[in-house]
Amino acid sequence: MKRFLVLFFTVIIANNAHAQAEKSETEPPKVRVEIASNVSRMLDIYQEKARKQPQIEGYRIQIFNGRKDDCLESRGNFLKVYPEMPAYLLYEVPEYRTQIGDFRTRLEAEAFLRKIIADFPGSFVLKTKISYPK
């Protein structure tokens, strides 16, 4: 009796699986996505915020901090060697800071830091808000 039930259910399941496979091979499945109104509203809010504040969590390398003139000089020296890399002059009381790059991961930032550490000793990686990658 037990064998009969196992065989019976195996045949039923195999038949249903085969029928579904035949149907999907001849006609592509139609997918309908429904989004709840509150989820849709949250997506709209998120997109609006992203337009207003186009920044995400990431990493930059700080190559200098101090007086404004010195920071501008270090930024200029950096851009002479690496013109494709973004460089920022930031002011946080009581001093200016020169930060470079928009790295998504700490690993990327550390790899670039190894390239520049000989020319800019004392540089270090810090977590901050970065611009969206282009």
**Architecture of the 55-131 domain:** 2-Layer Sandwich (3.30)
What is the CA 32 to chain-centroid distance, rounded?
28
For the stretch 37-53, pLDDT in tens is 898 898 888 888 777 77
Each domain of the chain, given as residue ranges in start order, spans 55-131
Structure tokens at 17: 């699986």
Q: Which of 95, 98, 102, 101 is nearest to 73 (CA)?
A: 98
Look up tokens 């496979």; give the residue: 21
Instruction: Give residue 33's pLDDT.
Output: 83
Band of the pLDDT at 27, cuts 50, 70, 90?
confident
Q: Is there a contact between 24 and 31 (Cβ–Cβ < 8 Å)? A: no
Facing residues of 103 across strands?
Answer: 59
CB atoms within 10 A of CB 11: 10
Angle at 71 between CA 69 and CA 74, to 5 degrees: 110
Instruction: Give residue 31's pLDDT.
Output: 87
Percentage above 70 pLDDT, the chain: 80
Q: Is there a contact between 88 and 60 (Cβ–Cβ < 8 Å)? A: yes
